[in-house]
Structure formats: structure tokens, C-alpha cells
Amino acid sequence: MFDVIRIPAFKDNYIWLLRKGASALVVDPGDARPVLEVLEREGLTLEFILVTHHHADHQGGVAGLLSRFPARVFGPATESITAITQPLHGGETIGLESLGVEFQVLAVPGHTLGHIAYYGCGSLFCGDTLFGAGCGRLFEGSPAQMHHSLTRLAALPDLTAVYCAHEYTEANLRFALAVEPGNSDLLKRVDEVAVARARGWATVPSTIALEKATNPFLRCSEAEIVASAQRRVAQAKNSLEVFTVLREWKNGF
Ligand code: ZN
Ligand code: FE
């Protein structure tokens, strides 16, 4: 197994660094500088870079890292990310021996069309697909694609650690509360996150169980959420229609 180091970047990004012995892997390095600082401080060799999608805040640091370490770069085959040496499709498995880990590659289109997630060792690195109490904006994909992607992630084991790429949980919870004020698990999470953020603590990783209990985008069949969606769009009935209403509502929230 590996240890995980959280590297804050930009305003609210997290770059995840996995280490075992002196070997390191990073997920979604939007910026090289803070990653190089950690590698140097810890005496690590960067061997692998995993990219979830093409946005600059997730891959803008790849070139700078490659100028210091000849790492292998994994990323979605269908997005234009120039530095990728190992193009991936959903359904593939990658074995990273020096870290002692295998990751399943999950195709999770929605935020972007080629977006992939990495799942292995009880951990999910999901980029901008699933967030604490929220989900990514639909820049390229359809509501149906994102709804399907989130449904797949929600089917992972409850204890899966969810490493998303942004600290958005507190703002997402304000929306979740507007959608489902009667959810006691949600009220508890709101309190916990308020305390954590006031102390400057991260709210990521979360777990699939916590997201299933509190994330409105994974709860589109719950009666209170359906009713909230129908107050905005009366004909919203099935979970995809409810999801579509919620995603639209959140855009302007
Ligand atoms: Zn993005
Ligand atoms: Fe992002």
C-alpha cells in the first residue's frame, strides 16, 4: 500500500501524491512547483503521473515535472494532452509495480467527454466528476452521461476513499441543504465541514458511503429531492430528469 500526501494548488485544487518507499505518483498536477517542493523535501522519485482530463488545472504542471523526472504519463486516450505516454480507455487496468498498486480505469464522461477516473486499493481518484456533496459542471458531456458516470461511482464499495480534485465541499453543502433540508446526515455533515473549514482543514477525501448519504447528485430518487426538483420543473420524474434539474439549478445557485 501507499501513503497519500495532499498538495494544495491554486485557489482550491488538490494534487494527490502517492508514495511507497522512494517512489512517487501524482494525480492531476495542474502546477509543477508545489509537487517538486514535496518530492524534494521527501526525497522521492516521481515515476508516474495520472491525469483525469484535459483542463489546465489538472495537467498544466506535467511538462515542468517531466523536465525533472522521466515519469510515465497516463491519461485519457480521447483527449488532447500532449505529454501522455500511456493513453487509456475505460475498462483497462494499469499495474504500477513500484507502488504496489493496480488501478482500474473508469470512463466517467460528463465534465469532459474523455474524463477518466482511477480506482484501486480502496481509493478513487475522480478528478472533477464527483466532489464532496457535489459533482462537476457539464462542460462537454450531457446530463445523461454524467448521471450514468455518477451512478457507476456510487456503486463502488462504501468504504472507498474519494479523492476529488477540488475543495468545494462547503459551497456544495449550501446547495445540498437547499435541495434536501430534511436529511439528518446532511445536517451533520454541514456542521462537521463548517468546523473543519474554520480550522483550515481539508474535507477531502470523503467516502462513497458519505456521498451516497449526503450528495444530492447521487440521491436523485429520494422523495424530498424529487419534490424539490419538481418545484422548479413540474414534469421532472425519473432520476435522470431530477439530476438534470439539480445540475441546472446548481449552475445558478
Ligand atoms: Zn476540470
Ligand atoms: Fe478542475
Tens digit of pLDDT for each residue in 35-50? 999 999 999 999 999 9
Binding residues for Zn(2+): 53, 55, 57-58, 111, 128, 166
Exposed/middle/buried for residue 212 (C-beta within 10 Å: 0-12, 13-18, 19+) = middle
What's the rounded Cα separation, in Å, for the pair 118 and 87? Answer: 13
Question: Going by C-beta distance under 8 Å and a sequence separation of 6 or more, which residues neighbour residue 65?
Answer: 26, 29, 32, 35, 36, 46, 49, 71
Please name which ligand lies nearest the alpha carbon of 57: 2
CB 175 within 8 A of CB 134: yes
**Arithmetic mean of pLDDT over the chain:** 98
What's the rounded Cα separation, in Å, for the pair 72 and 29? Answer: 13
Known catalytic residues are 53, 55, 57-58, 111, 128, 166
Nearby residues for ligand 2 (ion, Cβ within 5 Å): 57, 128
Indicate the SS3 state at residue 188: helix
For 17-36, the pLDDT digits (tens) are 999 999 999 999 999 999 99
Closest-CA residue to 64 (of 42, 32, 96): 32
Please name which ligand lies nearest the alpha carbon of 30: 2
3-state secondary structure labels for all residues of 196-217: HHHCCCCCCCEEHHHHHHHCHH
Cα–Cα distances in angstroms (integers) from residue 92 to residues 75, 107, 124, 153, in the given order: 12, 10, 15, 16
What's the rounded Cα separation, in Å, for the pair 173 and 20? Answer: 34
**Residue 18: in which H helix or E strand, if any?**
strand 13-20
Summarize the confidence of residues 217-236 as an average pLDDT. 98
Closest-CA residue to 132 (of 190, 211, 185): 211
Residues counted in the chain: 253
Please name which ligand lies nearest the alpha carbon of 27: 2
Share of residues in the chain with pLDDT > 70 (%): 100
Q: What is the pLDDT of residue 1?
A: 81
- For the chain, how many structural domains are there in total? 1
Could you tell me the distance, in angstroms and rounded to a whole number, from the CA of residue 234 to the centre of ligand 1? Answer: 31
Query: What CATH number corresponds to the domain at position 33?
Result: 3.60.15.10
pTM: 0.98
**How many angstroms separate the first and last alpha carbons of the chain?**
40
Torsion of CA 124, 125, 127, 132, to 10 degrees: 50
Could you tell me the distance, in angstroms and rounded to a whole number, from the CA of residue 83 to the centre of ligand 1? Answer: 18
Q: What is the pLDDT of residue 117?
A: 99
Could you tell me the distance, in angstroms and rounded to a whole number, from the CA of residue 136 to the centre of ligand 1? Answer: 7
Above 90 in pLDDT, residue 243?
A: yes
Could you tell me the distance, in angstroms and rounded to a whole number, from the CA of residue 128 to the centre of ligand 1? Answer: 5
For 58-103, the pLDDT digits (tens) are 999 999 999 999 999 999 999 999 899 999 999 999 999 999 999 9
For 176-192, the pLDDT digits (tens) are 999 999 999 999 999 99
Q: Which residue segment(s) compose the domain that 71 sits in?
A: 3-251
